[in-house]
Structures are given as structure tokens and as C-alpha cells.
A and B are shown apart, each in its own frame.
Chain A
Amino acid sequence: MSEESHGHAHINYPKIYVILLVLLVISVLGPFLEIQAVTLITAFGIAAVKAYLVAKNFMHINQAPKFITYIMTTCLVFMLLFFAAVAPDVMNDSGDNWRKNLSTWHYSAPAGHHEGAPHASSGH
């Protein structure tokens, strides 16, 4: 079976491993500088770099047919789309989105009759 797998072009696995560990150390030390921007970059920027290194050198994604990379990227993009579209909703009003805050609107409960919808105070 081994002749099936293309010999993975000489990657120095120990070298990559050491780089990953160094990056880990930097990301742990980042918060000690107490600058938020630095912490974010070292934490998440380094995470992204580590992920890329693992994907390229350990998973050999760049040696698989290109459509594999496209599929993985597409999944990531869809997650970004999900975040971008949902965050404005979820990050507002702590789950209170159905309450209207406009000053011209007040909710009157349907007292005793079945007309249903609340009436706007600016008369209709």
C-alpha cells in the first residue's frame, strides 16, 4: 500500500514541532504585557498560524488535490458568514430583541377581545 501514497516531500517534522512549541510559549506570555491588542494578536494570530502549520505540514493539505483546500476554506467562510449575520442579533439587547424601544410605540395587551395585534399609540 505504501507506493500509493506519494512520498511526502521532505518536511522536517521536528523543526515544525519546535516552531509550534515556540509559538505556544509566545501566546502564553502575550497577556503578561497587559496590552489588549497584543494579547489578541498573540492569542488568535498565533492560533491561526499554528493551525496553518499543522494543516500544511502535518495534514499535507497542500499535497492533496486542490478541491480539498477549497472545501475546507468554504466551510470556514460559511462559519464566518454565520457569525457575521447572527452576531448583530445576538449581541444586541441581551436577548431582548422583541421589546420595542421606540418611544412612539407602546404595547397594549388585548384586554378581553380577540383582535389580536397590539395597537400603536400613534393611532391607526
Chain B
Amino acid sequence: MAESIHHHAAADHGDHHHHAEQSFVSKYLLSTDHKIIAMQYMFTGMLMAMIGGFMSYAFRMQIAFPGESVPLWGLVTPANYNALVTNHGTIMIFWVAMPVLIAAFGNYLIPLMIGADDMVFPKINRLSYQIFLISALVLLTSFAVEGGGFGGAWTAYPPLSAKAEYNLTPLGATLWVVAVGLEFVAFLLGGINFVTTAMNSRAPGMKLYDIPMVIWMIVIASILFMVSVGPLLAGAIMLIFDQTLNTAFFDPNRGGDPVLWQHLFWFFGHPEVYVVLLPALGITAEIITVFSRKKLFAYKTVLHTAIGTGVLSFTVWAHHQFIAGIDPRMAHIFTLTTLLISIPIAEMMFVYIATLYGGAIRLTTPMLWALSFIGEFLIGGVTGIFLGASGADIYFHDTYFVLAHFHYTFYPIAIIGTFAGITFWFPKMFGRMMNETLGKIHFWGSIISFNFIFIPLFVLGAAGDHRRIFDYRNFPDRSLPEYQQLRVLATVSLLVMLAFQFVFLYNFIKSMFTGPKAEKNPWKSNTLEWSADSPPPHGNWPELPTVYRGPYEYSHPDRKEDYWPQNQPN
């Protein structure tokens, strides 16, 4: 067995196929190159983000100015409102956070950072994107069918989601479940590719603890996803049958149990948030080490904590169901586990801060995003403690407090993490530098307005604003002017935040074509992807690299340079 490994290692050099001039279709649409597939995921995710963002604009306008026609949409009916809220959440998690953070960055970075020429199964990689694209199209179709899009919340609890007489959107509801199911299949396929590649295709010399943290995080996230999604995939099939065949899996009148769906959903749903969190934590780790010129403080601790968090994440799910009628003794247990899980994440925050301490900090745009991740996620995490205590949750559940909490976690994960990653790896991906001034304007405009959206929502939630209310004028005691002012403040801040995204779009597109050309390693980073050309060619390197040390050897006392690339022999 050992002989065959050596044989293959020797064959690593050279041995590349040369392509004849490829058509646009075969080079960009049907490519099996991991970098192209990564871009496909990224652009699809960004497009879906615009759709999901537009949805939030429409329903926030309805809340702030109820009954008034919303520019670019029209009047928001109650059915519209429910569908907008449902699909905003669904899109942002499944069609933005996951494709960008895991599929796009995973696809792009894994082969490059472990010194491989591609994923181990390029054709399955392409297939996973194709299934993902179909899932996105199925979801978008659900808005166009009779009855409109599904409006039963992204959690799709039956009987509302199962019975057309309740949800009034039978076609939309089934298309929604089918879309989500297809997305799961796409990510299962992709996940197997990622895990197998990272486990098996590392460069010679790259031992387990020499792997960059972002790769570990994406791999652990993929494993978490694979293990948690199974029961929900089964549940989705049961729900589709309830919807279309009139089975009674979740119908309490005929021997079924809606609570089973809740458990199936959240058994996946909770690990899922860590699935998206870990890559964002990984991206942050890469950025803060590069821009403080310091090694990651306690690499092994971070790694073991991430794994421990992953395992623990399977034991907290019913904190989403504290007031659903679960056994109260079960609630005690889940309170304990939920409060416990805050400890490893807090510890990772401390490790990141310790990494920054005493470093030569450079406040580039990626670094600003990474630092803001730490600060904003902290608020999200701390407010989660209130919700994890089942007693307090009796009051807070289904209020805007919950919503503000999870936006203070999801926004750092999906938005800040994405912008951090894009601004950091843009030079490698497109061979050009983004504009720093525009980057900083975009950053400050987004971050400040983001806080002005959700802090009012914490206040409103604590004051009693229930979620998923289409028009607060129906509730006289919620219609006090001071409450409505906060709602308007949040909505106007959203408009400001959305406006600043045009700065990013302009920067992104303009830099892609006319930005200053980027060298191989503009940030002077150690990891392998920076030793490839910007952008890397098919096959990534003419000769695949060998690794001699870990990824975070910055500011080594014995060396003149403050960085020491992994592939440099001495």
C-alpha cells in the first residue's frame, strides 16, 4: 500500500492535459474546474441574495408604512407578506449562505489551499451545481404558480404546510419542499466531494495540523450537514406525501404528529446554523492572521473546539420548541445543552482576540469585515443566552427579540463572512485588486445601518412585538407611536443598507475588469493558494506544491520576512 502512494506522489509533477480552445459553453457553463464551479455557486448565491434582500425590503415597507403601495412591488397583501417572509428566510439560508460560504469558498479554496489540482470528483462537482441550480429554479417557479409562493414560514410546520385548505398555496408549498429537498441533495453530493478531497488529496508534507483553519471548518461543516440532514430529507418526503397524496404523517386527526416534523426539522435546523457559522469563523481566522501578522493563537484548541461544537450542536435543537408543548423535563435538558454550547464559541472569540493582541494590525477592508464579525456575532451569541433559558423563552419566543438575535448571528455569518471572503480572495479569483476606498465606504455604510435595523427590533421584541405580523394596526396595544417609530427606523436603516450594496456591486464589477492587476501574493500570506497565479490556471500550478510547515508562521523571530509560505523549502 505504501509503495503505491509513493508511486503516485512521484507522478504528481507535470502530467497535465492541454485543452484546445474551448467554447464559452464548455469553458464556463459545463466546466468541471473547481474554480469555475465555485464562481457559478457564488454568482447564483449573490443573485439569490438580491432577490432575498428585495423581499425584506418589500415586507419591511409594509410594516413601516402599512397599507401603502410599496415602490417596485405594489400593495403587500397578507398572502404576499407571508410568502415574502417565508421565502426571504428560506432563500437567505439555503440559497445564499450555504452556496456562498460552503459551496463557493469550499470549491475555490479546498484544492488550492491543500495543494491539489482539482476536487477528486470534478464531474460530480459539476452535477452538484446543476442540481443546485435546478433547486433554485424550482423555488423561483413557486412564486409564479397559481396561489403564489408558500407562506408557511421557512420552518414549514404542518398542518399549515401540509394542508392546502390552511396554506392556500398547494402548488407553491409542494414546489417549496421539492426545492429544499433538491438543495439538500446537491449539498450532500458536494459535501462528499469536499470531505474526500480534503482528507485524501493533500499536498505531500501537509499533515493534519498544517491544514489552514478555513479548510477544517468547511470540512467539519460538510460533515455536520451530511449527518444532520438525513432525518429531514426523510421528513420532507413525508411532508410532500402529506401535501400531494393526503397521507397523515403529520395529521393529528388521523394518527400523525405535527411535533415529529418539528423535531425532524430542528434536528437538522440547529446543526445547520453551525454548518454556516464554521466557514465564516474559518474565513475570519485566515484574515485576522494575515492582517495582524501573527499565528493563530491555539490552533489545536480552535480545531478541537470546532469539532466539539459540532457534536454539541446535535444536542440543543429543541430549544426552538420550548413552547411547542414538548415535555418540560426535556426543556430542562435542552436549556442546559444550549447554555453549554455558548462556551466553546465564546472561547473561540477569545482565541481570535488573543490572535490579534500584539499583532501588527492592518485595517484593510477584509480585516474590517473580519473584526466586525467578531463584534457583531458576540451580540448575537449573548442574546442567544436569553433565549436558551426556557423560562425566559416563554416570553421571548416568536417575538422580534428572536428575530434580532438570529440576524445578529446570520448577518455576520452570511453577509459579513461573504464580504470578508470576497474582498480577501478577490485578487486571487480575478487577478485584480478591489478599490480600498469604495470597500471601506461599503463596509461602514453596511455595518452602521445594520445595527440600526436590528437594535430597534430587540427593543420592540422585548416590548412584545410578535413575529410574522402583517399589520400592527390590527393590534391597538402594539400600535403606539413610539413602537411604530422604531419600526420605521428599522425599515429606513434597511433602505440605507441596501443602497450601500450598490457601492459593493460597482466596486466588484468595475474591479473585475479594470482594477489594478494583482500579483500572486498581494497580502503576503503563507497559505498555498497565494503561490498560484492570480487567477490560477486550469490545474492550478504547473507543478503541484510540497508543504514544509504550518499555515500561520508569521513574524517568526528568526526570520527577516514577517511571513513564511507553506511551500517554501526554507
In the complex they form, whether A and B have CB atoms below 8 Å apart is answered with: yes
- The answer to whether the Cβ of B124 comes within 8 Å of any Cβ in the partner chain is no
Asked if A6 contacts B1 (CB within 8 A), the reply is yes
A94 and B477 contact, Cβ closer than 8 Å, known pairs A3-B4, A78-B227, A86-B263: no
Asked if A95 contacts B477 (CB within 8 A), the reply is no
> Which chain B residues in 229-282 approach chain A with CB under 8 Å?
231, 252, 255-260, 263, 267
Report the separation of the CA atoms of residues A120 and B169 in the bound assembly, to the nearest whole angstrom: 36
- The answer to whether the Cβ of B330 comes within 8 Å of any Cβ in the partner chain is yes
A81 and B263 contact, Cβ closer than 8 Å, known pairs A3-B4, A114-B475: no
Asked if B4 contacts A4 (CB within 8 A), the reply is yes
Report the separation of the CA atoms of residues A81 and B334 in the bound assembly, to the nearest whole angstrom: 13
> Which chain A residues in 7-37 approach chain B with CB under 8 Å?
none
Asked if B259 contacts A88 (CB within 8 A), the reply is no
- The answer to whether the Cβ of A122 comes within 8 Å of any Cβ in the partner chain is no
Nearest CB on B from A28, distance (A): 28
Asked if A97 contacts B324 (CB within 8 A), the reply is yes
Partner of B326, one of A4, A89, A96, A114: A89
Which B residue's beta carbon lies closest to that of A1? B4
Which A residue's beta carbon lies closest to that of B267? A82
A95 and B259 contact, Cβ closer than 8 Å, known pairs A89-B326, A114-B476: yes
- The answer to whether the Cβ of B108 comes within 8 Å of any Cβ in the partner chain is no
Asked if B259 contacts A97 (CB within 8 A), the reply is yes
Nearest CB on B from A14, distance (A): 28
Which A residue's beta carbon lies closest to that of B5? A4
- The answer to whether the Cβ of B314 comes within 8 Å of any Cβ in the partner chain is yes
Asked if B257 contacts A95 (CB within 8 A), the reply is yes
Partner of A89, one of B252, B327, B474, B476: B327
Nearest CB on A from B162, distance (A): 13
Asked if B263 contacts A98 (CB within 8 A), the reply is no
Partner of A97, one of B4, B267, B325: B325
Taking CB atoms, residues of chain B closer than 8 Å to A94 are 252, 255, 257
A98 and B257 contact, Cβ closer than 8 Å, known pairs A82-B231, A85-B318, A85-B330: no
- The answer to whether the Cβ of B315 comes within 8 Å of any Cβ in the partner chain is yes
Partner of B324, one of A78, A98, A99, A115: A98
- The answer to whether the Cβ of A109 comes within 8 Å of any Cβ in the partner chain is no
Taking CB atoms, residues of chain B closer than 8 Å to A115 are 477
Report the separation of the CA atoms of residues A98 and B258 in the bound assembly, to the nearest whole angstrom: 11
Asked if A90 contacts B260 (CB within 8 A), the reply is yes
Which B residue's beta carbon lies closest to that of A5? B1
Partner of A90, one of B259, B318, B475: B259
Report the separation of the CA atoms of residues A81 and B255 in the bound assembly, to the nearest whole angstrom: 24
Asked if B315 contacts A81 (CB within 8 A), the reply is yes
Nearest CB on A from B319, distance (A): 12
- The answer to whether the Cβ of A75 comes within 8 Å of any Cβ in the partner chain is yes
A89 and B263 contact, Cβ closer than 8 Å, known pairs A97-B326, A98-B325: yes
Which A residue's beta carbon lies closest to that of B254? A95
A88 and B314 contact, Cβ closer than 8 Å, known pairs A98-B324, A98-B325: no
Taking CB atoms, residues of chain B closer than 8 Å to A89 are 257, 259-260, 263, 326-327, 330
Which A residue's beta carbon lies closest to that of B262? A89
Taking CB atoms, residues of chain A closer than 8 Å to B318 are 85
Which A residue's beta carbon lies closest to that of B251? A95
- The answer to whether the Cβ of A92 comes within 8 Å of any Cβ in the partner chain is yes
Taking CB atoms, residues of chain B closer than 8 Å to A88 are 327, 330
Report the separation of the CA atoms of residues A74 and B314 in the bound assembly, to the nearest whole angstrom: 12
Taking CB atoms, residues of chain A closer than 8 Å to B258 are 95
A95 and B4 contact, Cβ closer than 8 Å, known pairs A88-B330, A114-B475, A114-B477: no
Asked if A96 contacts B252 (CB within 8 A), the reply is yes
Asked if A86 contacts B252 (CB within 8 A), the reply is no
Interface string of B138-167 (1 = CB under 8 A from A): 000000000000000000000000000000
Report the separation of the CA atoms of residues A96 and B476 in the bound assembly, to the nearest whole angstrom: 32
Nearest CB on A from B260, distance (A): 5
Which B residue's beta carbon lies closest to that of A81? B314
Nearest CB on A from B321, distance (A): 8
Interface string of A93-124 (1 = CB under 8 A from B): 01111110000000000000011000000000
Taking CB atoms, residues of chain A closer than 8 Å to B260 are 86, 89-90
Report the separation of the CA atoms of residues A92 and B227 in the bound assembly, to the nearest whole angstrom: 27
Which B residue's beta carbon lies closest to that of A88? B327
Taking CB atoms, residues of chain A closer than 8 Å to B231 are 79, 82
Taking CB atoms, residues of chain B closer than 8 Å to A6 are 1
Nearest CB on B from A72, distance (A): 11
Nearest CB on A from B500, distance (A): 38
Report the separation of the CA atoms of residues A85 and B330 in the bound assembly, to the nearest whole angstrom: 8
Task: Identify 13 new A-B residue pairs, CB closer than 8 A, beyond the known A4-B1, A89-B259, A89-B326.
Answer: A6-B1, A74-B227, A78-B227, A82-B267, A88-B327, A90-B263, A94-B252, A94-B257, A95-B252, A95-B255, A97-B324, A97-B326, A114-B474
Give me the 9 closest cross-chain CB pairs, A-B, nearest first.
A95-B252, A97-B325, A95-B257, A98-B325, A86-B263, A90-B260, A90-B257, A114-B475, A88-B327
Interface residues in chain A, defined as those with a beta carbon under 8 Å from any beta carbon in chain B: 3-4, 6, 74-75, 78-79, 81-82, 85-86, 88-90, 92, 94-99, 114-115
- 28 A-B pairs within 8 Å (CB atoms) are namely A3-B4, A4-B1, A6-B1, A74-B227, A79-B231, A81-B314, A81-B315, A85-B263, A85-B318, A86-B267, A88-B327, A88-B330, A89-B259, A89-B263, A89-B327, A90-B259, A92-B327, A94-B255, A95-B258, A97-B259, A97-B324, A97-B325, A98-B324, A98-B325, A99-B325, A114-B475, A114-B476, A115-B477
